[in-house]
Amino acid sequence: MDAISVIRAKRDRGRLTDEQIDWMIDAYTRGEVADEQMSALAMAILLNGMDRAEIARWTAAMIKSGKRMDFSSLPVPTADKHSTGGVGDKITLPLAPLVAACGAAVPQLSGRGLGHTGGTLDKLESIPGWRALLSNDEMMDVLRNVGSVICAAGDGLAPADKKLYALRDVTGTVEAIPLIASSIMSKKIAEGTGSLVLDVKVGSGAFMKNIEDARELASTMVGLGTDHGVKTVALLTDMSTPLGLTAGNALEVRESVEVLAGGGPADVVELTLALAREMLAAAGLPDADPAKALADGSAMDHWRRMIIAQGGDPDAALPVAREQHVVTATASGVLTTLDAYAVGVSAWRLGAGRARKEDPVQAGAGIEMHAKPGDTVTAGQPLLTLHTDTPEKFDYALAALDGGIEIAAPGTDFTPNPIVLDRIA
């Protein structure tokens, strides 16, 4: 077997054999296949695609490159959620303890933000003392004692994906749906969860800009999960507008705690409950009532226990940025556009995100939103408050918002998109 023949096969729109896929992934992980050769194959896959059997084999080969976790010793079923990423997407924070409060175990392996999309671990690290890095034994202890854990994935899970993901990021091949699907699902299957709910974002602030591409990605991932024995369901959800009223790390933690306390923005509550119901049904607990767990305080109790178990202080004051700048409405009327991508880039430029994985983030940086599409606004009223420790970034952040806010004439009939656009199972 050699890399050049595999590259040529896919370049010429051929179907890769199981043996070619297994060898290529293994050889690349070991360093026998060079980065430039895998880059060429990734580009050929982007241009010519893969069929379902090829994607399944590619995913299996990436899983085989590392370890698999096993939660079979837990006394309750496991359920996990994965979001393809968006702006203001803090749903994992209230969702994991909420589902645990309803009787399932949630082993939530999460990541960090890059570019305009936020990262769950960055958000939680704004809580004083909280630790993202846990050993497997520590993770199991938290799951047994609390029911939910949110932490970083270890290096042993699908190491082939870690190497290939970094390569795709710098070679213009991130958009290849077979590679996106296999990247996400190899880690989630290796994680060992019994069921998985996918939150596939659609819109300007999402990776998938249109619903047709989102459906293709969701269907591919649901098929991969099913093929590997993991009960998998996907919701397509709107990301044309940021979720909730905050985008940023500590700002989103504060909003998540409001949801767990029985309040919070309606869209965040709606999506949290929708995903919780899907997770509980997939885990075999369809009669559990997540709305009741929010109302009676049990979800908040699980949140506090989870934060404490990972070294955090749930009562500590969260970081606050040193400087603020208020963006006001330029006219009176109906707010019809608050573009998720524009808000995400602006928050990133304020210091809430990073351009490279090694870049630091500001815990207090981000954006508060005082109105959402469909709201009536008056000229001069606050629309956004920008937060940062580095006020020299305000102009750069404001430039990202150009064209991202639109106000129609008073009385304009406008209906925002629904939160959940479709379900694929």
Q: Sign of torsion, CA 264 270 275 276?
A: positive
Q: Does residue 204 belong to any structural domain of this protein?
A: yes
Answer whether residue 282 is part of any domain.
yes
- Calpha distance 366→354 (Å, rounded): 12
Range scoring the smallest mean pLDDT among 114-128, 196-210, 232-246: 114-128
What phi, psi does 284 have (nearest 5°)? 85, 25
pLDDT tens profile 33-50 = 999 999 999 999 999 999
Reported confidence tier of residue 405, pLDDT bands at 50, 70, 90:
very high
Question: Are residue 280 and residue 395 in the same domain, yes or no?
Answer: no
pLDDT for 356 beyond 90: no
Length of the chain: 425
CA gap 371, 378 in Å, rounded: 11
- Whether 385 and 304 map to the same domain: the answer is no
Average pLDDT of the segment spanning 282-311? 97
Query: What does the block give as tokens for 261?
Result: 């306390």
Residue 168 falls in the annotated catalytic set:
yes
The CATH number assigned to the domain holding 101 equals 3.40.1030.10
**322 φψ region: left (φ > 0), alpha (ψ -120 to 50), beta (else):** alpha
Q: Does 85 lie in the same domain as 213?
A: yes
298 assigned to active site: no
Q: Does the pLDDT at position 93 exceed 90?
A: yes
Percent of the chain with pLDDT over 90: 90
Task: Quote the pLDDT of residue 354.
Answer: 85
Q: b/e map of 239-269 (b: 16 or more CB within 10 Å)?
A: bbbbbbbbbbbbbbbbbbbbbbeeebbebbb
pLDDT band at 166 (very low <50, low <70, confident <90, very high): confident
The CATH number for 28's domain is: 1.20.970.10
Catalytic residue among 39, 126, 148, 183: 183
- Segments forming the whole domain that contains residue 24: 3-49
Decide if pLDDT at 169 tops 90. Answer: no
- Number of separate domains in the chain: 3
User: Residue 340 domain-assigned?
Assistant: yes
Mean pLDDT of the chain: 95
Distance, in Å, from the CA atom of 273 to the CA atom of 98, rounded to the nearest integer, reads 9
- Any catalytic annotation for residue 183? yes
User: Are residues 185 and 296 located together in one domain of the fold?
Assistant: yes
Q: Which of 246, 278, 309 is the last residue of a domain?
A: 309
In terms of domains, do 222 and 93 share one? yes
**Res 186 pLDDT > 80:** yes
Between CA 107 and CA 190 the distance in angstroms is 12
Same domain, 291 and 333: no
Evaluate if residue 355 carries a pLDDT over 90. Answer: no
Asked whether residue 16 is assigned to any structural domain, the reply reads yes
Is 161 one of the catalytic residues? Answer: yes
- Is 99 a member of any domain? yes
- Evaluate whether residue 317 is within a structural domain: no
d(CA 95, CA 106): 9
Residue 163 lies in a domain: no
CA angle 83, 89, 93 (to 5 degrees): 85
pLDDT reading at 357 higher than 80: no
What does the pLDDT average to over 293-316?
A: 98
Do 150 and 240 fall within a single domain?
yes
Say whether pLDDT at 156 is over 90: no
Q: Which of 80, 89, 122, 161 is catalytic?
A: 161
Residue 140's pLDDT band (boundaries 50, 70, 90)? very high
As a whole number of angstroms, the distance between CA 34 and CA 205 comes to 34
**In this structure, is residue 396 part of a structural domain?**
yes
Residue 354 sits in a domain whose CATH number is: 3.90.1170.30
SS3 48: helix
Mean pLDDT of 162-176: 87
* Residues above pLDDT 70, as percent of the chain: 100
Q: How confident is the model at residue 162 (pLDDT cuts 50, 70, 90)?
A: confident
User: 381-385: long-range contacts (C-beta < 8 A, 24 or more apart)?
Assistant: 381/328, 381/329, 382/326, 382/327, 382/328, 382/329, 383/327, 383/328, 383/329, 383/335, 383/338, 384/326, 384/327, 384/343, 385/324, 385/325, 385/326, 385/327
Checking if the pLDDT of 174 tops 90, the result is: no
Q: What is the pLDDT of residue 112?
A: 85
Instruction: Note the pLDDT of residue 114.
Output: 74
Give the type of residue at 289: D
pLDDT surpassing 90 at residue 249: yes
Structure tokens at 298: 């049990």
97: pLDDT strictly greater than 80: yes
Q: Evaluate if residue 220 carries a pLDDT over 90.
A: yes
Residue with tokens 């699907």: 181
281, 395: one domain: no
Same structural domain, 268 and 404: no
Taking the alpha carbons of 301, 304, 308, 314 in that order, is the dihedral positive or negative? Answer: negative
Answer whether 33's CB lies under 8 Å from 24's CB. yes
H or E segment to which residue 93 belongs: helix 92-101
155 pLDDT more than 80: no
Cα 269 from Cα 262, distance rounded (Å): 9
Q: Which of 10, 112, 168, 201 is catalytic?
A: 168
Residue 165 has pLDDT above 90, yes or no: no
Catalytic residue, candidates 10, 57, 81, 82 = 82
Check if the beta carbon of residue 208 is closer than 8 Å to that of residue 192: no
Mean pLDDT of 69-98: 96
| 87 and 142 in a common domain | yes
Q: How far is CA 396 from CA 321, 322, 361, 365, 391, in A?
A: 17, 17, 16, 14, 10
Instruction: Indicate if 241 and 120 belong to the same structural domain.
Output: yes
- Pick from 153, 173, 157: which is nearest to 38 by CA? 173
Name the catalytic one among 123, 187, 201, 393: 187
Q: Do residues 41 and 88 both lie within one domain?
A: no
At 5-21, the pLDDT tens digits run 999 999 999 999 999 99
